[in-house]
Structures are given as structure tokens and as C-alpha cells.
């Protein structure tokens, strides 16, 4: 969530995509004593706040690091993360000072989206506990993020959309960047097998995935995302098996061959790779070549307005900082390079 605020918020889906990565198996405990890093108008930002923000961004990888590497990583990123939390607090205060009000229906919908996007083996109660939250405190934090997002969007709405003439000029000047390579967008269901698995286990997995394929064929491919969430051993299960777009050479050969030969909407035969058994559903195919202006208008709009949006928010947050009472501890202040004395 904090990453989005730093990038100045674009959509609620993105807002919570970072936090949905958290699925650590172990309990997360702070590695250091709770040190005060900064204050924003009297509100403290501590090392515990930074560690929680890191877990929300990077998920289980933080807790799976060796202790010395973990401590070193946290120390390295703490100044940047603390600055992001300072910006977040400033934006939250600003949002609360406006007429923007929390919307219970929007909160309910967002919480349902989060719960629905968690992998089947992760319970919502465990998910929030690993972040140091109770259900009540988690709802409070989500409410704050929604308020901030609404406030940021309000500020960004003042940026005028580029005209067709501006977009066409941009397109002509940057045609080379709108050449597309052959790619497909696909989802998959993986039933993982380890190299050391005995033949009985492999046989059972194969039978299971064949039954899943029969279900999908009967349903003409519908319900793929639901089965992926319920059965797939791949982290993409949280997204209904969605792998996004990929080109040739990005997947293992057997997977690539099957995916690129399938028709859009088709659920292919079971594919065996070193990872296990896969079911693949191709949802889109893109041919190589020059993309037309009409196809890339949305991308051009984002490329033109993106820097403007970022500059607008940087200036806005800088203005909030000037009016605020902010203190920073030596732990997050940049080290000053001593100026050599003249001989």
C-alpha cells in the first residue's frame, strides 16, 4: 500500500496488490527494538512501522532471509521507507481536513476483494495477524488508504488529458517504442511434482489434473480462475492462475510450445514440465509488428500525463512538508560529507 502512495496512487486494485503478496508461513517478529525514526506533527514513525511496511511490500522474503542479511536489508531501506511513511502521514492529515468521508460500502467491497484474492491456504485472520493487525485495526488502515487515495485522485483530476493532436505527435516521435513482439496472455493451473516424488504421487497428481481438465472442457473453459485458486500450487493462484503477457523464450520449452500453439479461450492438453503438471488457458494473442495509434492511445495518455502526475504530487507533498512540524532521527538522515578545509 505504501508503494502506491509513493508512486501517487492510480487504482484501488493496485493499492492492495502489494499487501496481497504477504503469505509468510512463519510468524513475523521485529528484528530490532522499536526505535523512533521520525515524527510528523507529533505522531511517531518507528522502526516497527517500517518493518510492517516492508512486509506489506515484499511479503515472506523478508522473514525468510538469514538474520544478518535481513538486518542489513532493513537498515539499508529504512531511510527511504521512513520518508514514504512521512509522506503517507502528511497525505492522511490533508485528506482528513477535507470534506472527503469514508464510505462503508467501498470499505466492505475492498475488504471482500482482499479476502477473495488470498490463496486458498491463507486464512484472512492469519494474513492480518502476520502484519501485526487485529481485524479492527486492519479495517482502520484500509479506511485510511481509501481516504488518501480519494484525496490524491482529487488533486490529480486537475491535470488535463492530452489532446488527440498531442498524442499523435507523441506517437510519431516515438513509433519505435510501439513495436510489438509476438506474445500471449495466459493463465495456468499447476500441480507441482518434485524430482524425488515417487511414481504413485505423480500418477495421482496426473489423474487429478486430468479430472480438472474434464470439468473445464464440459464448462467450455469457464471457471478456470476459480479452479486455479482452489487447486494450483503456483503463486499465480491468488490471481486465478493469471500469468500476464509473455513472449517466446520466457517460459520453459514444453510450456511455451503448448501455450503458443493453443487457440484463445481453449484449455489445452495436460503439459508436463520439470515443475509438474499444467493446464493452460490462453486469453489473448498479440502478433509482432507496428502497433496502430488507436491501439496505444491509452499507453500514450499514461506516458504523457505520468510525469505531470508525479510532479504534481511531489510539489503537493513538498508544500505539506513546509507547513508541517517534522523531525527526523539520525538513523534516517543522510550522512553529510565533510567539506575539506583549505590548506
Q: Are 120 and 188 part of one and the same domain?
A: no
Are 45 and 185 in contact by the 8 Å Cβ rule? The answer is no
Whole-number pLDDT of residue 340: 57
Rounded to 5 degrees, φ, ψ at 267 are -100, 115
Half-sphere exposure of 65 (CA within 13 A, CB side): 15
pLDDT digit string (tens) for 186-201? 999 999 988 777 888 8
Residue 191 bridge partners (DSSP): 277
Structural domain range at position 275: 182-287
**Average pLDDT of the residues of the chain:** 84
CB within 8 Å of 61: residues ≥ 6 apart: none
**pLDDT, position 342:** 55
Q: Does 237 lie in the same domain as 102?
A: no
User: Are 239 and 179 contacting, i.e. CB atoms less than 8 angstroms apart?
Assistant: no
Q: Residues 211, 131: one domain? A: no
- Domain co-membership, 30 together with 81: yes
The gap from C-alpha 236 to its chain's centroid, in whole angstroms, comes to 12
Query: Which pLDDT does position 195 carry in this prediction?
Result: 76
Q: Which of 113, 125, 63, 92 is nearest to 2 (CA)?
A: 92
Residues paired with 46 in a beta bridge: 36
| 213, pLDDT greater than 70 | yes
CATH number of the domain enclosing 256: 3.10.50.40
The answer to whether residue 173 is domain-embedded is no
65-102: pLDDT as tens digits: 788 888 888 888 999 999 999 999 999 999 999 989 88
pLDDT tens profile 229-253: 999 988 888 889 999 999 999 999 9
- Write out pLDDT tens, residues 290-314: 888 998 999 999 999 999 999 999 9
Which of 17-21, 92-96, 167-171 shows the lowest mean pLDDT across its residues?
17-21
Amino acid at each position: 500500500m505504501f508503494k502506491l502512495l509513493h508512486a501517487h496512487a492510480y487504482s484501488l486494485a493496485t493499492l492492495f496488490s502489494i499487501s496481497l503478496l504477504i503469505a509468510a508461513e512463519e510468524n513475523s517478529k521485529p528484528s530490532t527494538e522499536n526505535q523512533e525514526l521520525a515524527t510528523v506533527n507529533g505522531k511517531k514513525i518507528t522502526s516497527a512501522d517500517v518493518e510492517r511496511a516492508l512486509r506489506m511490500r515484499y511479503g515472506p522474503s523478508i522473514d525468510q532471509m538469514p538474520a544478518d542479511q535481513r538486518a542489513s536489508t532493513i537498515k539499508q531501506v529504512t531511510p527511504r521507507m521512513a520518508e514514504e511513511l512521512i509522506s503517507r502521514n502528511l497525505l492522511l492529515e490533508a485528506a482528513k481536513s477535507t470534506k472527503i468521508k469514508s464510505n462503508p460500502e467501498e470499505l466492505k467491497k475492498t475488504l471482500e476483494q482482499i479476502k477473495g484474492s488470498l490463496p486458498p491456504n491463507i486464512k484472512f485472520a492469519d494474513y492480518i495477524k502476520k502484519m501485526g493487525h487485529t481485524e479492527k485495526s486492519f479495517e482502520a488502515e484500509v479506511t485510511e488508504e481509501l481516504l488518501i487515495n480519494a484525496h490524491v485522485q482529487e488533486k490529480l483530476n486537475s491535470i488535463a488529458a492530452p489532446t488527440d493532436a498531442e498524442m499523435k505527435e507523441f506517437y510519431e516521435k516515438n513509433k519505435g517504442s510501439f513495436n510489438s513482439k509476438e506474445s500471449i496472455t495466459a493463465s495456468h493451473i499447476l500441480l507441482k511434482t518434485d524430482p524425488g516424488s515417487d511414481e504413485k504421487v505423480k500418477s495421482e497428481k496426473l489423474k487429478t489434473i486430468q479430472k480438472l481438465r474434464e470439468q473445464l472442457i464440459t464448462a467450455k473453459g469457464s471457471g478456470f480462475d476459480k479452479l486455479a485458486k482452489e487447486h494450483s500450487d503456483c503463486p499465480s493462484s491468488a490471481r486465478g492462475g493469471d500469468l500476464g503477457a509473455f513472449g517466446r523464450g520466457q517460459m520453459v520449452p514444453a510450456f511455451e510450445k503448448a501455450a503458443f500453439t493453443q487457440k484463445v479461450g481453449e484449455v489445452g492438453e495436460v503439459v508436463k514440465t520439470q515443475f509438474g503438471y499444467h493446464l493452460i488457458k490462453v486469453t489473448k494473442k498479440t502478433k509482432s509488428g507496428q502497433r496502430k495509434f488507436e491501439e496505444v492511445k491509452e499507453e500514450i495518455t499514461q506516458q504523457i500525463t505520468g510525469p505531470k502526475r508525479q510532479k504534481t504530487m511531489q510539489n503537493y507533498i513538498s508544500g505539506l512538508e513546509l507547513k508541517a512540524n517534522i523531525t527526523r532521527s539520525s538513523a534516517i538522515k543522510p550522512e553529510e560529507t565533510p567539506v575539506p578545509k583549505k590548506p
